[in-house]
Structure 1
């Protein structure tokens, strides 16, 4: 059975090979490299560690490395179990279990609801660590970071790295392991020592990545990025790490263990500093290290802010808005957007209202200028961000920060757009597909469509298939719009079209997002019989608007005829998606299932059937106090006791006055595999997932 190369949490599955690369593994929850993590572990602060995991996920990390080993504690296993359970309940990023103790790893794997990544295995010494962990990988179908360390020690030259990777694969075959379960760390060594043995360490690592990717294409590569710069000043490390990551991804790197906040986009690195660190990486001359040390010692710790791109005071507001989005400068973007609109209206000035700039004119005056600002200043900025993302100059966290700037800009701009009430050219159901949290593109589509006379039913992000279908039934739209940023989530589009085809639907489907292309859309439109309603690839939001205009006008049939003709002439290219492989089956010994009181029917409880005394212990008080009540910082800590008292009063009042009516719905349903899908039996028939 072929291993499917992905990891998962209880809530989300993530492909190991991202497009664009790399998969980012957050490194901050690691006591071996983070003082904060170690302090939290020694202080038994589970909530603080969970926050550390959550922050990394919010910053764009696909997975979270968890290492809590310290010499000061002897209860690593027990503490690890508590921590991964708590993280799994509130953070949707898959975990990377990092420990030198195989027993700790196995206990954590059994605790986690999903498929984590193991960090790490190797063949050092007698290979005992590999022998302990390989059966675990086979039993639970887990991937692992495999360090290129063999019986003779760490691989240093590119050929040694490839040879050790091959040896790891060959050894894994004895346990039934597949190439996709190996994520090879080809190792890198610090360039800060100046020792002759490591002068070519940077070049050797990059070439090692290239060789492994070329000769072992079904496996993956990973780097603990910060090792390359160990021993240099913090700012020098940031620049060196950022440049090295760029070159590693170009060499074929799949995953990076890194703190995304400490990476600078390659295109934004000062050219002088980029040349210095690249001379060190590629060992172009004998003084490369001394030049780096001298420059960054003179630059000091405040160099980074001084070298950030700056706006020219002479720029007009439109250019400033554009610059802010590209460079992720959110503060002040609302005022620049308002000023940009005013500049496009002859003789128009701005006024100050509640500390913000505003234009005191009716929307029929400001509408055209606002549209110009959107088309000429804001949208080109996001296009540039997308182009740089595709070229590998930006990693995903930077794209998300630019998207936040764009979201703030559009929210301000919408105040000056004219909307006609009571009339609509047509109806569009719109959403970002399930598993995808990126909604900036979808929000722009909504803005463009609404301001061209359409009614948009925005379902938000991470929208499940069933939610789309319910909204389609409710509003009977003229089309449905599906958005996805990632390769892994774009597969949800295929699921929707497949379901629509089998259900006899003929609703036009508009698909857009960075991860898709016309070939992908043609494939899902044609696979299993041409979808009658049309599946349209919308490269930009304006392509989507043009398609929608044709669908609701007299050109609909003409558009569909042309689309079908183009689809019939389209031929699958050489990069076709390989056929689906059989799903792996667990080798865990079967257990006796519980005997359900009722099957294939939902069981509902409400009111007096639910004991509130059993509900209250499940309340996450930290989330309530911090997220909902705003209890933060020193003041929050000092008033913790007061808030506990308020909560107790509320609980008593809720019980006495029946303010809450809790409800529970659960059930027992038969599930089995059928044609590469999960089939769920229920009273009305079957549902396929």
Structure 2
């Protein structure tokens, strides 16, 4: 199960693809002068600006601490939470030592927050209260390794404290391991105190040991503590090196000022070694050596004589930068020195491999990888006319396809792009490819490796079932499996036993590239997954008490209707830009400095977003339509039964196997209680976006393909949010105007919407009764045999009006 927290606008996984997750620390009167002055002046706009500025500089979570002598902490915290809830996309960390403050703040927050923190300093009294409230509201908790003896300084004591807290939180209070984020504490190595010289070593070793002993938990650190007492410029370097080491040890999140961390790649080897000496206590007096080094350090002139750069190096740099300008002239000159095929194999392919390595280290973002692939593709096209023959038969070949019933192709196409531009032959069979066709093409084309992709849970199950068919058909190629619904555990335990050749889980295109290289080296092996058992584990608890006496809202009609959305600006205003820029487009900060990342967003990302919106409007690629309806209903155990024209339509939902044992049907009244009302909708952008993205892919415009596809997906989500707002207005459970909550104006609404195929209702077959009721064929939407909607930029949901209805997983 993925470990994540959420705001009103987005969910954020604690275990990032490129760690760590950065927690902004500036909303703290004891750590930020600007925040302290704003808080004391009760200038709440200025307080909010400190939070928003951290988001802009790359903070992915925001720590909110308002405790200050002479202030009413509870009142200040409630104001800050209410203010940030409607304005900050980053989820919040509620930082307080007061259980009363935490207990009143959590209900105000419309997401899954983190509580900072619990410990055993008072013998567990505060831990008891905070764990209970965390369980009640589904929050995660930061756990500090502090006991009645004080702060744990050694690895041994840190691990012992972590074990004790884990046992109480999980086995007594029913939290899950993934709800725990351990702060194993670190102390300054810059004070000269002999007892603190091994502080970094103790912390790093403790992270490794707790990670091994307590699987599922996460880790955080106040990184800047390591350098307390040193000069600011030197602290920045030491903090950055220590953060890198902590991530290598297993750190998931870091409480830092994102603007004061620099990428390791930008730190000279000499500076790194001095930092390593201090962190690992190497040498006679590493503290003084560190101070002397940074007192005397001078910047070196890194300018180079551009005229001395060899043509081969110029080509390498063009591939790394994705620069297509001047390629024809450059390759013409290189053909005077190299055979065309040797240019590809000796210069271009190694450059693309370097691109992959940079991406893997977090030093190159996905859009720039695709720019490099475009430059590679262009280079090969310019060289092909001068080759005596294309030696395709000597290339390692891969057959790839999206499995039957699944129309999603973005992941598969990224695999095609990456493999093709690393010198491999790729046979791309497209989408919705049945097992029989894959077998026939494998026999005809004789690929070395087969790659299968699918986004849906049903697609993952189909992959598992089809493996037996491939075995019976006599296929012997390794099979790579990828897709959002797959996990290493599923592939290892459910898929590997069904097929004799290697079956390998690939999380992304670069994992696919790694697998193909392992095949060539003769080292490719099936995915393995070690299942570890915890000592006791969380036991199911009592069901949550769902309020039964809730007024049933009135609706403007019963049955279904359709509508075309004419005004598009409201949709654009609801696009989750963080999810678009970082998630869909891959513009993650990675190892960029905060300043460089902000510049990237301002200079490249926002102009691209503005351009795509303008082109989409001008060229008519957007045709948003909706089919929606309201139906009398009743709940029966785990089923919700909708009624229309005398006929019942049954929607069965799973129930949580752990506390609070929720099921979506709990939020509706039974027949005995008088019945209820439910809403449904299907929204679509229309087929034009799919036509646009396909044309970009076919023309080798890989970066534009990624940008347009991601834009379409996030705009579809915005359309769903927009129509959910309209339905709440129609039912009278939301207002068009924001509401005053605790003295602050925030947008609030009642109820929730649940998309089929997502955690609370994973059964995609519920699309069928939804289609029977709404008849979205009227707006051009159809279902595949696997209950997936076409066009791709389409989504659906069940609308629940109950005030306690929130997102949850089963």
Which of 188, 191, 195 aligns to 2:189? It is 191
Which of 536, 539, 545 aligns to 1:589? It is 545
Structure 1 residues 513 and 384, CA, compared in 2 at 3 Å: closer, same or farther?
farther
Whole-Å separation in 2 of the counterparts to 1:513 and 1:80: 36
| Displacement after TM superposition at 1:143 (Å) | 2.6
Q: Is the 8 A contact 1:123 1:149 kept in 2?
A: yes
Q: Is the 8 A contact 1:109 1:116 kept in 2?
A: yes
Whole-Å separation in 1 of the counterparts to 2:278 and 2:409: 39
Q: Is the 8 A contact 2:416 2:428 kept in 1?
A: no
Structure 1 residues 666 and 325, CA, compared in 2 at 3 Å: closer, same or farther?
farther
Structure 1 residues 247 and 437, CA, compared in 2 at 3 Å: closer, same or farther?
farther
Structure 1 residues 582 and 374, CA, compared in 2 at 3 Å: closer, same or farther?
farther
Matched, 1:230 2:228: yes
Q: Is the 8 A contact 1:324 1:405 kept in 2?
A: no
SS in 2 for 1:575: coil
Q: Is the 8 A contact 2:402 2:452 kept in 1?
A: yes
Whole-Å separation in 2 of the counterparts to 1:18 and 1:622: 22
Whole-Å separation in 1 of the counterparts to 2:455 and 2:213: 32
Task: Tell me the residue number matched to 2:373.
Answer: 410
Q: How do residues 68-79 of structure 1 correspond to structure 2 at under 5 angstroms?
A: 69=66, 75-79=76-80
Structure 1 residues 526 and 206, CA, compared in 2 at 3 Å: closer, same or farther?
closer
Structure 1 residues 536 and 400, CA, compared in 2 at 3 Å: closer, same or farther?
same
Matched, 1:85 2:58: no
- TM-score for both structures, normalised by structure 1: 0.62
- Unaligned 5+ residue runs, structure 1? 349-364, 458-467, 484-490, 548-565, 637-658
| Displacement after TM superposition at 1:379 (Å) | 1.5
Which of 157, 161, 164 aligns to 1:164? It is 161
Structure 1 residues 431-479: Cα deviation after superposition (integer angstroms, max 9, x where no partner): 9x9999999954733854999686786xxxxxxxxxx76999xxxx979
SS in 2 for 1:161: helix
Structure 1 residues 662 and 584, CA, compared in 2 at 3 Å: closer, same or farther?
farther
Whole-Å separation in 2 of the counterparts to 1:413 and 1:26: 38
Q: How do residues 132-281 of structure 1 correspond to structure 2 at under 5 angstroms?
A: 132-172=129-169, 173-258=171-256, 262-264=260-262, 266=264, 269-281=267-279
| Displacement after TM superposition at 1:399 (Å) | 3.8
Structure 1 residues 170-226: Cα deviation after superposition (integer angstroms, max 9, x where no partner): 443443345443322111112222233423322222233244334444544321212
Q: How do residues 616-635 of structure 1 correspond to structure 2 at under 5 angstroms?
A: 620=573
Task: Tell me the residue number matched to 1:341.
Answer: 331
Structure 1 residues 36 and 684, CA, compared in 2 at 3 Å: closer, same or farther?
same
Structure 1 residues 209 and 521, CA, compared in 2 at 3 Å: closer, same or farther?
closer
SS in 1 for 2:174: coil
Whole-Å separation in 2 of the counterparts to 1:623 and 1:673: 29
Matched, 1:319 2:282: no
Whole-Å separation in 1 of the counterparts to 2:296 and 2:408: 46
Task: Tell me the residue number matched to 1:351.
Answer: none
Q: Is the 8 A contact 2:22 2:256 kept in 1?
A: yes
Whole-Å separation in 1 of the counterparts to 2:284 and 2:225: 21
Q: Is the 8 A contact 1:186 1:205 kept in 2?
A: yes
Q: Is the 8 A contact 1:139 1:587 kept in 2?
A: no
Structure 1 residues 309-351: Cα deviation after superposition (integer angstroms, max 9, x where no partner): 979863435435646887xxx5x95558667534433399xxx
Structure 1 residues 168 and 430, CA, compared in 2 at 3 Å: closer, same or farther?
same
- Unaligned 5+ residue runs, structure 2? 385-396, 443-449, 582-597, 603-621, 632-639, 641-650, 658-760, 771-786, 789-809
SS in 2 for 1:110: helix
Worse-superposed segment, 201-210 or 36-45? 36-45
Q: Is the 8 A contact 2:349 2:421 kept in 1?
A: no
Task: Tell me the residue number matched to 1:656.
Answer: none
Task: Tell me the residue number matched to 2:654.
Answer: 673
Structure 1 residues 481-540: Cα deviation after superposition (integer angstroms, max 9, x where no partner): 667xxxxxxx9587523145679998998546999999975655346x6699x9897965
Q: Is the 8 A contact 1:156 1:201 kept in 2?
A: yes
| Displacement after TM superposition at 1:7 (Å) | 1.8
Q: Is the 8 A contact 1:188 1:201 kept in 2?
A: yes
Task: Tell me the residue number matched to 1:653.
Answer: none
Matched, 1:7 2:4: yes
Whole-Å separation in 1 of the counterparts to 2:251 and 2:348: 36
Which of 337, 345, 349 aligns to 1:376? It is 349
| Displacement after TM superposition at 1:44 (Å) | 0.9
Structure 1 residues 290 and 14, CA, compared in 2 at 3 Å: closer, same or farther?
same
